[in-house]
Structure 1
């Protein structure tokens, strides 16, 4: 008699197996692969500036490479001089006064977000997540044992959630509310009054707030990025700020972010990082030091280019029948509704979802965009306008030509 067949062995843990691939990185990778194969694909998927890192930052890294001091391990929480500089930069840029001991330097913003959630969440704790959301937030919450609870805002409110919506989502298990302004993927920016109201609501209910300020310098048309703990000091003891050099200084590949928070939480996250990765690359940290201590002239120059592109892409998308594109006030994304096109015939196909529409646009127009499903709100597309002006116009022109063929 043969032995009983053993049950199927799980090769990947349930926790990791449940993680979805980053949709934005997947779209960018596919676009690059098609370009490498000779297809003239234009990619609107990646959220990174198309500018080179400023020369003075690169030169600081070159010098660091030559210095044996940076050839060895350094403190897991970050170079002391960089932590002090981040504290000074935070006071300069947002009016929020902190001590260097409240800073943890991380391998990019993604590690900062995960470690922040891991430091304060216990299994089953709920985190209110305004949607549309950046794809990494829910996955980081789940990895840390938490439960993301989505609160959806649409174009009618400028993609900004209200205190009333947040309160409706609050339960006895709610521990954290996520606050992002300027927003990825929508470019929404909360006013000072809106920011203060959300902060006051969080304080009243004893909630933590994780606020992502990575796009703080990318605002347009009179909008201003307001730092939540700066306008609501009563929140300081339960607020974690995530930031980094990636977007502001065109340093996405350098992988330097940081956490600012209460000392006990920062110490706990530092302990986690000491086992996960140890210190961030010293060369990248020195480059970040040059960035945060330098002036913002290069940032302003990039901002003017983004603003010009922002106006162009909004105008061109709104010329397409069935597309509604609000004007973003920050970051470098537009998030148009394409609900008016779903179900219509385009070159023999009837895309019923924004996933299918994005696939059609890639196949027929050779333009890569990210569908709204990746951000928790089907019926939309996200396009980054952090690409050259000529490519932007050419890419949107291809989309215009294709979608002009839509028939009922």
Structure 2
């Protein structure tokens, strides 16, 4: 008789987060005394702004924050997030500003993603996921019983899908479109015209749109963040995902949110009430201070990211077989390394090995150059590498030079 797995099929089928796995391996190597430079995790290297930390410290002294609070979030934070999303995303329902009932505060952005798909999907429902995509989307879709359908947009089209591609992917089981701009992992930003075209197409098909706007404040070279939720025809069939992690350098505070029609938010709140209940109150106070405060610290970080963005693109494009489009948003470079793979590739014969996939190349770069990057297999097709430039300027320069020396053989 076959031995049954100790782990359920549903959980056993989940792939580990590739970005966190790379980051963990790099940190373990550092802890063992190796000089590893990490381009893996999308985590700003700046501290959380001091005024936010001060507000959180004060909140710890208030006894009301030592107790349970509403599962959906502190009322004052939900109100502030409703106002923020109405203002920054132009999202209104029936022409009216959003209310607290349209907001659920979650334990980081990943819980917002999970809650959303668990609330919207029935088994077998299909979700169109433009690729390259963030690793968590397809796993959350599968956990909810849905079926992710990849639509790949390569560097030749700026990593942006077209309506024609989306149309070709629609079936009678399609229920949701995932839309992300600015994008993780590519840094692609859709023009206002493209956002409107895709949004109107989704509305004409009766699809839900799940849009992740966590990089809304990080755009460069005049690129404009445009929320697909601003289209009136999508108002009752869109969910906005967001959080404080990237904009305010608050990855460890674990505060995200989902914004959408009240019935969807109520159902997702019921789910969260049984899964985790409320987000830590002190973290919620920190988030409230962040979203209601100035963006001065954000602009300072953005200036540094912009400088690093230009440096990493220049450095990557100087490596044989590498081709890196200039990202317009977020803090990632997504480099096409297909020219450095295979028997005829410029990477052939490195350390006695010939990588034929980006996963093999990423492993070789970590082993030989002591530089951690994430292979394209984590985000869609092989042949690409993602590098986060949310790290210090000196480490960025040293890391790119190590990769160049390895690939070029000098």
Q: Normalising by the residue count of structure 2, what TM-score does the alignment of the two structures yield? A: 0.97
The Cα of 1:7 is off from its aligned counterpart by 3.6
Match for residue 183 of structure 1? 183
Q: Tell me if structure 2 keeps the 8 A contact 1:347–1:405.
A: no
1:202–1:209: 8 Å Cα contact kept in structure 2?
yes
Q: Deviations over 1:221-280 (max 9, x none)?
A: 0001111111x1110100000000000000000000000000000000000000000000
Contact 2:89–2:229, Cα closer than 8 Å, also in 1? no
- Indicate yes or no: 2:11 matched with 1:16: yes
In the alignment, structure 1 residue 192 sits paired with structure 2 residue 196: no
Cα distance in structure 1, aligned partners of 2:222 and 2:381 = 28
Residue of structure 2 equivalent to 1:394: 398
Report whether the alignment pairs 1:82 with 2:64: no
Matches within 5 A, 1:154-173: 154-173=154-173
Residue deviations 1:156-179 (CA, integer Å, cap 9, x gap): 000000000000000000000000
1:271 alignment counterpart: 270
Counterparts of 2:5 and 2:333 in 1: how far apart (Å)? 41
Distance (whole Å) between structure 1 residues aligned to residue 388 and residue 2 of structure 2: 47
C-alpha displacement of 1:345: 1.9
Q: Output the CA distance in 2 between the equivalents of 1:352 and 1:400.
A: 18
Aligned length: 400
Q: CA deviation at 1:90?
A: 1.7
Deviations 1:296-334 (A, max 9, x none): 111111000000000000001001121000000000000
Paired residue secondary structure (2:167) = helix
**2:202 and 2:47 mapped to 1: Cα distance?**
39
Q: Deviations for 1:136-175, whole angstroms, at most 9, x for unmatched residues?
A: 0000000011000000000000000000000000000000
2:345 maps to: none
Supply the distance in 2 between the matched residues of 1:92 and 1:229 (Cα, whole angstroms): 12
2:94 alignment partner in structure 1:
none
Alignment of 1:1-400 (within 5 A): 6-96=1-91, 97-230=97-230, 232-343=231-342, 344-400=348-404
Q: Distance in 2 between matches of 1:180 and 1:380?
A: 19
* Cα deviation, residue 349, structure 1: 1.0
Separation (CA, whole Å) in 2 of partners of 1:224 and 1:98: 23
Displacement, 1:95?
2.6
Q: CA RMSD, aligned part only?
A: 0.9
Rounded Cα–Cα distance in structure 2 between residues aligned with 1:314 and 1:237: 40
C-alpha displacement of 1:402 = 0.7
- 395-404 or 341-350, which moves further after superposition? 341-350
Rounded Cα–Cα distance in structure 2 between residues aligned with 1:310 and 1:377: 23
Q: Give me the whole-angstrom Cα distance separating, in 1, the residues matched to 2:376 and 2:218.
A: 22
Supply the distance in 1 between the matched residues of 2:68 and 2:249 (Cα, whole angstroms): 26
Q: How far is the alpha carbon of 1:347 from its aligned partner?
A: 2.4
Per-residue CA shift, 1:91-121, capped at 9, x if unaligned?
Answer: 3323333111100000000000010011110
Residue 388 of structure 1, CA deviation: 0.2
Q: Deviations over 1:62-102 (max 9, x none)?
A: 01110001000000000000001111222332333311110
Structure 2, unmatched stretches of 5+, are 92-96, 343-347
Q: Counterparts of 1:28 and 1:341 in 2: how far apart (Å)?
A: 24
